A = this chain, B = another copy of it.
Amino acid sequence: MSQYSGYHGDSLEFLEKNQIAVGDFVDILSDKVYSGIIMPRFEHNDDKHIVIKLKNGYNIGLEIEKVERIEKSIVPDKIIKRNESVNQNKELPNILLLSTGGTIASKIDYRTGAVTPILTAEELNSSVPELSKIANIDAKVLFSEYSENIMPKHWLEIAETIEKYSKSEYSGIIIAHGTDTMHYTSAYLSFSLAGFPIPIALVGSQRSSDRASSDAALNLIGAAKFLTECKTNGIYVVMHQDENDKNIACHIGTRVRKNHTSKRGAFQTVGDKPAFLVQNDKIFTNSKTSFFTTKKFDPKIKLNEKVALVKYYPGYEPSMLKNMIDSGYKAVIFEGTGLGHIGENMYSVVKMAHEKGIFMGMTSQCIDGRVRMTVYESGRDLLDLGIIPLENMIPEVALVKSMWATGNTENSGAIKEIMLDKIASEFSV
C-alpha cells in the first residue's frame, strides 16, 4: 500500500513533515498522550484528522491541529505478545507469527470493494481462534506491505529478525506475507538462513480473511499444524493445494511458484508434489531429503541488487543486455528458451559481459524441466561464451540466489561455485 494510504491535503502534509507513514508506531502528545499505530484512511475522508489504532484495539481519530508533538516510538520486542484473548496453555508448543502485510493481513472495504490492511498481527491471530488450540502464538508486525512492494531490503529485515530466534522456545515461525512475491522471499530466506534449525512457513491468502471464501484461516491452521508436528526444518510456502479446503500444501520455498492469479490453490511445487500435505489432522510427507544441505546454521544475510533476470524472446534487443553491462550489473540470469537457449544475435554482447566478469546463468522459461546446453550447437556456443547452466533451478529462484551470491562475494569463481552448490533444495541432481 502507499506510505500515506488515504491521506491527502493537510493531514498528508502533517505526516510528511513529521516523517511518519502509515503503519508506524507513534507516540502523540495532544490533549493527552496516545500511543498506537498510524492507520490508513479511506479515500474521500477529510484531511483534518489522522487515525491511530490504540493498544486496546480501538481506532481513534485525532485532529491534527491539536497535536503538539508526534514521534515514532521505538518498536521494542515487547510488542511481541501472546494472544490475550485466550488463556495460554503451557502444554502447547509456541509459534512466532511475523506479519509483513498482504491480503492475509487485510480485510475488504465493503464500500469500495477494495482490500485494505488490518495491520496488527494480534488481529490476525485473534481472528483465527482455532490457532490457540494448536499453539501459543506470539505475534509481531514487521511492516505492512503488499507483496509487490516487498523489495530486497525487506528480505534483509525479515532474515535479520528471524536470525535472532535460532535458539528460541519456538517450534516454528509463521511469516504472514502477500502472495504475489512470497516465493521470491522464501527463496531469499532459504539461502541467507541456510541451516536454520526450526521450520519457517510463509503463509498468505488469496482472499481476504473477512470473505466467506477466504483461505487465510485454513492456511494459518495448516501451517501451525505443520510447524508443531513435523520434526523438520527449512523454509516452506504453506497454502491451499487446490480448491479443496481440506488440503493444505507445504511447498519447498525454493521450488515453488504462484501459477494462477486468483485460485486458492495458486501455488505449485514445480515438477513435483508438495514436500508435505496437511489433510485435516494428518500430515503426509513427500519430501525424501533434508531441506538444507548443511546441518549447521550459518546465516549470511547479504545481497546485491545489481542482478537482472532477462527473459529472452524473439526480437529481444541485445542492447538491453549491453545497458546492464554499462550499469555495473554483477550477474544476469537468462530465462532462455527450451533447454536453455538464446539467439545468435546475443552472442557478441554475451561475450562482452563474460569478459567483464559478469556471472551469467541459464534457466528456462519453460519453468519445468532441466536446462541441457550440450544437445544443440546453440547451447554449446553459449557454454563456450561462459554461460553457466543452472540445472532445473526456477528462474526466479536463480535470480534471488545470484543476488545473494554476489552480495557475499565479488570473486567470479566463488560466485559460480555458490550458484552450482546446492544449498536449500533449489535444484535436483
Contacts and interface: CB of A to CB of B under 8 A. Distances in A.
Interface of A: 1-2, 5, 113-116, 146-152, 154-155, 178-181, 184-185, 257-263, 266, 305, 307-309, 311-317, 319-320, 323-324, 327, 335-345, 364-372, 374-378, 380-381, 396, 399, 403
A5 B341 contact: no
27 contacts: A2-B344, A113-B374, A115-B377, A146-B378, A147-B338, A148-B312, A149-B343, A149-B344, A149-B378, A150-B314, A151-B315, A151-B345, A155-B314, A179-B338, A184-B314, A185-B314, A258-B337, A261-B366, A261-B368, A261-B369, A266-B366, A305-B317, A307-B315, A308-B317, A313-B396, A313-B399, A319-B327
A204 to B, nearest CB: 10
Contact of A366 (B1, B178, B258, B339): B258
Contacts of A316: 308
A305 to B, nearest CB: 5
Contact of A148 (B320, B336, B396): B336
A375 B148 contact: no
Nearest to A341: B148
**Most interface-central of A308, A311, A367 (chain B CB within 10 A):** A311
Contacts of A148: 312, 336-338, 341-344, 378
A335 B147 CA distance: 15
A139 B372 CA distance: 31
Nearest to A117: B377
A365 B150 CA distance: 16
A184 B344 contact: no
Given A113-B375, A155-B314, 4 more contacts: A148-B342, A149-B345, A181-B314, A307-B315
A90 to B, nearest CB: 40
B375 A114 contact: yes
B403 A341 contact: no
B369 A260 contact: yes
**Most interface-central of A305, A364, A377, A378 (chain B CB within 10 A):** A377
Contacts of A370: 261-262
A396 B396 CA distance: 17
**Most interface-central of A146, A396, A399, A403 (chain B CB within 10 A):** A146
Contacts of A152: 314-315
A376 B307 CA distance: 28
Contacts of A259: 366-368
A180 B309 contact: no
A115 B344 contact: no
A367 B267 CA distance: 12
A315 B403 contact: yes
A237 to B, nearest CB: 14
A371 B113 CA distance: 16
A309 B309 contact: no
